[in-house]
Structure 1
Amino acid sequence: MPGYCAFCHTAVADGVPWCADCFADMPWNHGACGLCAEPLPTNALAPSTPRRCGRCLRHPPAQTSAWVPLRYESRMTPLIQRYKFSADPRAGEVLIQLMLASLSRGLDLGEAVIGVPGQRERTREQGFDHTAWLTKRLAERLKLPMVEAERLRETPSQRGLDRVSRRRNVKRAFAVNQPLPAAVMIVDDVMTTGATLESLALACRAAGARQITALAFARTPSVRI
């Protein structure tokens, strides 16, 4: 409904699909780990200290930074589910605009955008590749070229798997078959353990990228995994 808040249906007049109250009440992922976007306690570190979770301090991931502005809870859960499982383009556009509104001015987005390749069977069932749709439109808005990665094998759904099983499930599942610039951004819709994005980050490193920003629209706190 153009002109109305996508969350409470209040009339809005500033061209964005949300009202000020709903935007302020979104489950923002403030103070997250800078490498995996895991939500951290607000008082875990001094504001000037780069935030890292204990897991990333012990085992740094393949990406060099992560930007996931929201948590997968509250208002974000039905929004993402409407987009992902009902192919609702209005919900997808709201996700894109929320991401663009959240981007930090100091964030280096790199020189190319690579989305996580969808499962062929799942894409046929749903009628579209939901991550590719988001990645293409995000790349267009950011005026960056989009590079397609290849899924080397079909993998079982990550739903219901623990962290170790997720990593094993997507290990060496992707490839990028062209040289990449030094700095790139990789995109998924929801980041749960980060296993899928890290697998894609490793493929990007093999193709020449060295600075890799993992970007997703929402992060599932690990306490719920």
Structure 2
Amino acid sequence: MSTLLKKKVDGWAVKALPGRCVFCLDALQGHLPWCEACFPELPWNLPACPVCAEPQPGAARGRRCGHCLRRSPGYDRAWVPLRYDAEVAGLVQRFKFDASPRAGRVLLELLKAGLSPAVQRWPDALVPVPLHPRRSRERGFDQAHWMAVRLGRQLGCPLSLAQRNRDTRTQRGLDRGERRRNLRGAFRVPAGLPRRVVLVDDVMTTGATLDALAVACRQAGAEEVQAWAVARTPAGRH
């Protein structure tokens, strides 16, 4: 199915199925796009490393993962409420590669549902993970910027925009160390960032991209940096 046709079908579904759960299509009682039965069955990222949010086995609950013990990331902590799996992976793929606004709205609501009111009030500015201009033109859609703009409006939080200094090669197929080296010095952030900054992305894989952007944000004046994403890729599936 072509991207244009998928967008048309997506738009039709929004109009034709009002008040229906996005996962099971049962009737909804409230304003959220999911039903009470589906919500707890989603692949929630629990337990997870309290620093980088990597999914953990039960025995490691609440402890730093081995990666964070060996090397602390550039951000102070990550909030990533879901695992990149099952229904969530499907939503992310439709949002990222098909530019589905409906999938984007659901993912944004899921992100907010996974953040406490105190965490939502924490940032002074949001910094979406930027695509290189060439890649943005090719894709025709910048998913992190799309999310950050709408999240900023809802939280009453301004955006600060970063830039990619170079068009890094794809991270697919690279291990954690190779990803980090590939992104070293890849971002530039204008000076004068406020004290508390949140980096926004749709999916967190190893965290190398958010790590590199966090370093650039600290160089631009941020004192505390958090990373927010909707879903985290489990270890071994990078």
TM over 0.5: yes
Q: What is the correspondence of 1:59-78 to structure 2 with a 5 Å cutoff?
A: 59-78=71-90
Say yes or no: does 1:87 pair with 2:99: yes
CA RMSD of aligned residues (A): 1.3
Distance in 1, matches of 2:159 and 2:118, equals 21
1:131 to 136, 144, 153: 144
Say yes or no: does 1:53 pair with 2:69: no
User: Is the contact made by 2:53 and 2:78 (CA closer than 8 Å) also made in structure 1?
Assistant: yes
Note the alpha carbon deviations across 1:82-130, whole angstroms, 9 max, x for none.
Answer: 0000010000000011111111244263210001111222211222211
1:3 Cα offset (Å) = 1.1
Distance in 1, matches of 2:200 and 2:227, equals 6
User: Is the contact made by 1:186 and 1:213 (CA closer than 8 Å) also made in structure 2?
Assistant: yes
Say yes or no: does 1:215 pair with 2:215: no
- The structure that is helix-richer by fraction is 2
List gaps (5 residues or longer) in structure 1.
none
- Alignment match, 2:11: none
User: Is the contact made by 2:129 and 2:144 (CA closer than 8 Å) also made in structure 1?
Assistant: yes
1:32 to 33, 44, 48: 48
Q: What is the correspondence of 1:1-225 to structure 2 with a 5 Å cutoff?
A: 1=14, 2-45=18-61, 50-107=62-119, 109-225=122-238
Provide the secondary structure at the position in 2 that maps to 1:92.
helix
1:189 Cα offset (Å) = 1.1
Provide the secondary structure at the position in 2 that maps to 1:224.
coil
What is the identity percentage for the equivalent residue pairs of Structure 1 and Structure 2? Answer: 51
1:22 Cα offset (Å) = 1.2
Distance in 2, matches of 1:198 and 1:33, equals 15
Q: Which of structure 1's runs of 4+ aligned residues deviate more than 4 A?
A: none
Letter paired with 2:51: L
Q: Which range is displaced more, 108-117 or 15-24?
A: 108-117
Note the alpha carbon deviations across 1:136-179, whole angstroms, 9 max, x for none.
Answer: 11111111010001111111111222112111111110011131
User: Is the contact made by 2:132 and 2:163 (CA closer than 8 Å) also made in structure 1?
Assistant: no
Distance in 1, matches of 2:139 and 2:220, equals 30
Provide the secondary structure at the position in 2 that maps to 1:146.
coil
User: Is the contact made by 1:31 and 1:51 (CA closer than 8 Å) also made in structure 2?
Assistant: no
Distance in 1, matches of 2:25 and 2:132, equals 34
Letter paired with 1:166: R
Task: Provide the TM-score with structure 2 as the length reference.
Answer: 0.89
- Alignment match, 2:3: none
Task: Provide the TM-score with structure 1 as the length reference.
Answer: 0.94
User: Is the contact made by 1:109 and 1:213 (CA closer than 8 Å) also made in structure 2?
Assistant: no
Provide the secondary structure at the position in 2 that maps to 1:177.
coil
1:27 Cα offset (Å) = 0.4
